[in-house]
Structure 1
């Protein structure tokens, strides 16, 4: 068994399993009565839980995970330069709450067809995917995961990858992204609302300064354009609303696609 070890425990979320479970319980507590909805995709933030955890938890709480065969989780490369898409050679991703299974057969197919490459270095210290997994574990989700670190790629190419996976498995597409970075509170509010409006309109030209996961977001939006689907904002805030000062904030939002 080849396990990718947790890289950002004790940084983005607690490394102690009891403390992590307690924090997740508190994050999900306001949403316990949320009605579960059948959706085909989600976008959730990936900052430290004290900053964006509630925004992510509200979206996770609304998703009906039953019936999916795989979860395609796509997030940006923060740590290493990357062109194209990278998948891990591991069979499990570890968090303090235990090991989470990967959809190794589908991962092999992505590599065999040339849609992605094996690159464990791209995954080694990447937080954008890792921080999403404890939310799944807290909800008791065990659907195998396809973790993809997305480097420079065109929206059309990323959409082809999504379609490839979706055509072979009943798949929930999950994109990990924060919004704008390091503006003042009023500036960030304005920029992030403009970005949200464009996401809701499925405009597949979001820029890196507007959302760090823009490449995956644009690919998802390109894939959705002709689908007849609709996107709804679940929650939106920034670090000035949660645990940071208002002079240099990071924006967060979560969305669901129906």
Structure 2
């Protein structure tokens, strides 16, 4: 069975297991404290369903605070991270340009210094049956944007009532910004989620994305506000359009649009911002800045 080995351990996050686990747990604990002092919008119906999260994927020194706050944000008496189902589809951008436009890692395991996460073979096969998805490992081999998230997922407590269960992942690398392609992929993802849920299994969706890259602080925050306004309005067409019109280098705009197309096919989506930050907080450099945002989204 194929194993995807880590490629940015020791650069984006610690390579030593003890140091990595300590850093991730510290960021989750700090995120819980932050969330307690900055409560999210309480207006959603208490029966609203959490479907997934958008998370950044830079080095932990830069985006770890946003990762921790988003995953630790309170949700129905626990955290958003702990509320995620065991089966997770993770949508990431394609930074390398290699492989298929919609590449699915079909089987095996993804390894981090903390151990392995099994690929959800059944979900991968269900996706590859329609919607333009194809089995493809090439697009994932040197792509960091899923790998960086996995140690956080490995350190999360189990979903309530599912103690002892382990989470599985379906890695999907999205290398197209074509509107019709993303729409069809979103509809296919929604159909695969529905089929799983008919069998009693919930499926969560994780989008891996950083925000605008390498403008100054003022320009980055302005562009990020434009992009986030569309994501928070759950408007995939608007997100793709504003990113193109304003030349916003949000690397995961296409994966986020795909997820929002799927959410619309599943019901009435909502989204809210958990935390926003830029690399300037860690680096002190306000001239060449990357933005980071953590969102959660679901169905009313």
In the superposition, the TM-score normalised over structure 1's length comes to 0.91
> Which residue number in structure 2 is paired with residue 237 of structure 1?
277
Q: Which residue of 2 aligns with 1:193?
A: 225
Shift of 1:115: 3.5
Aligned equivalents of 1:102 and 1:166: distance in 2?
A: 16
What value does the CA root-mean-square deviation take over the aligned residues?
2.2
Query: 1:219 aligned to 2:258?
Result: yes
Aligned partner of residue 14 in structure 2, secondary structure: coil
Q: Is the 8 A contact 1:2 1:89 kept in 2?
A: no
8 Å Cα contact 2:54-2:208 kept in structure 1: yes
Deviation, 1:41, is 1.6
- SS of match in other structure, 1:241: helix
Q: Would the aligned equivalents of 1:158 and 1:216 in 2 still touch at CA under 8 Å?
A: no
Please give the residue correspondences for 1:1-16 in structure 2 after superposition, counting only pairs within 5 Å. 1-16=1-16
Contact 1:195/1:210 (8 A) holds in 2: no
Equivalent-residue separation in structure 1 for 2:250 and 2:296 (angstroms): 16
CA 1:110–1:236: 2 relative to 1, 3 Å: same
1:168 aligns to what SS in structure 2? helix
Contact 2:81 2:156 in 1 (8 A): no
Matched, 1:203 2:253: no
Q: Flag the structure with larger Rg.
A: 2
Contact (CA 8 Å) 2:6, 2:112: kept in 1 or not?
Answer: yes
Q: Does 1:184 align with 2:216?
A: yes
Greater helix fraction, Structure 1 or Structure 2: 2
SS in structure 1 opposite 2:214? strand
Residue 243 of structure 1 and its aligned partner are, at CA, apart by 3.0
C-alpha displacement at 1:238, in angstroms? 0.7
**Paired residue for 2:207?**
175
2:186 to 155, 159, 178: 159
Alpha-carbon offset, residue 38 of structure 1: 5.3
Where in structure 2 are there 5+ consecutive unaligned residues? 37-47, 74-79, 159-165, 197-201
Residue pairs, 1:65-144, within 5 angstroms = 65-66=82-83, 68-113=85-130, 115-141=132-158, 142-144=166-168
Which residue of 1 is the match for residue 41 of structure 2? none
Distance in 2, matches of 1:238 and 1:48, equals: 12
- Taking structure 2 as the reference length, the TM-score comes to 0.79
* C-alpha contact 1:74 1:216 (8 A) present in aligned 2: yes
1:34-80 Cα shifts (integer Å, max 9, x gaps): 68x95112111111111111101111123154572510100001112
The answer for the alignment partner of 2:288 in structure 1 is 248
Q: For structure 1, list consecutive stretches of 5 or more residues without a partner in the other structure.
A: none
